[in-house]
Amino acid sequence: MIKLKDILKEVLNEADPKVGTGKKPKGSGRRLYTDENPSDTVKVKFKTAQDIRDTLSKDSFKSKSHKRQSQIINLIHQRVRAAYQNAKDPDVKKRLKVAFDYAIKRKEASKEKTERMRKIKEEVEEKAGSVSNTLQRLADDDQKLRNEFDALIKKCGWSQELVDKFVAEKGTSKNDVFGDENSGRQKKFRKLFNSLSDTHYAGFSDKDWDNFFLLAQHFDSDRELQKQAQNVLLRYKGEKDINYRYITDRISCAETGTQKYRTQNGCNNEDTIDEKCWRGYTQKGTKILFGKKYPNCVKKKKK
Q: Is the pLDDT of residue 175 over 80?
A: no
Residue-level pLDDT at 102: 95
Residue 14 DSSP symbol: S
Class of residue 291 by CB neighbours under 10 A (exposed 0-12, middle 13-18, buried 19+): middle
Q: Is the pLDDT of residue 24 over 90?
A: no
Residue-level pLDDT at 37: 57
Residue of 121 and 250 predicted with greater confidence: 250
Q: Is the pLDDT of residue 178 over 60?
A: no
Q: Is the pLDDT of residue 294 over 70?
A: no
Per-residue DSSP letters for 90-142? HHHHHHHHHHHHHHHHHHHHHHHHHHHHHHHHHHHHHHHHHHHHHHHHHHHHH
Kindly report, residue by residue over 225-236, the tens digit of the pLDDT. Answer: 999 999 999 999
Query: How far, in Å, CA of 182 to CA of 164, rounded?
Result: 17
Query: How far, in Å, CA of 250 to CA of 264, rounded?
Result: 7
Q: Is the pLDDT of residue 8 over 50?
A: no
For residue 21, give the H/E element and its range: none
Least confidently predicted of 19-33, 76-90, 204-218, 277-291: 19-33
Q: Is the pLDDT of residue 179 over 80?
A: no
In three-state secondary structure terms, 236 is helix
Kindly report, residue by residue over 60-99, the tens digit of the pLDDT. Answer: 899 988 988 999 999 999 999 999 999 999 999 999 999 9
Kindly report, residue by residue over 131-173, the tens digit of the pLDDT. Answer: 898 899 888 888 887 788 778 778 877 777 877 787 777 766 5
Residue-level pLDDT at 203: 87
Cβ atoms of 17 and 25 within 8 Å: the answer is yes
Q: Identity (one letter) of the amino acid at 203?
A: G
Query: How far, in Å, CA of 281 to CA of 243, rounded?
Result: 37
CA 49 to chain CA centroid, Å, is 42
286-301 mean pLDDT: 65
Per-residue DSSP letters for 264-289? -TTSTT--B---PPPTTEEEEEEEEE
Residue-level pLDDT at 160: 76
CA distances (Å), 93 to each of 54, 75, 83, 106, in order?
A: 20, 19, 8, 20
End-to-end CA distance of the chain: 125
Least confidently predicted of 2-16, 50-64, 122-136: 2-16
CA distances (Å), 167 to each of 152, 172, 178, 284, in order?
A: 12, 6, 11, 23
Kindly report, residue by residue over 193-217, the tens digit of the pLDDT. Answer: 998 988 889 889 999 999 999 999 8
Confidence of residue 287 (pLDDT cuts 50, 70, 90): low
Per-residue DSSP letters for 37-99? -GGG------SSHHHHHHHHTSHHHHTS-HHHHHHHHHHHHHHHHHHHHH--SHHHHHHHHHH
Query: How far, in Å, CA of 47 to CA of 99, rounded?
Result: 7
CA distances (Å), 194 to each of 191, 200, 229, 242, in order?
A: 5, 12, 10, 23
Mean pLDDT over each residue of the chain, to the nearest integer: 79
∠181-187-192 over CA atoms, to 5°?
Answer: 135
Q: Is the pLDDT of residue 301 over 60?
A: yes
Residue-level pLDDT at 162: 78
Residue 232 DSSP symbol: H
Say whether pTM exceeds 0.85: no
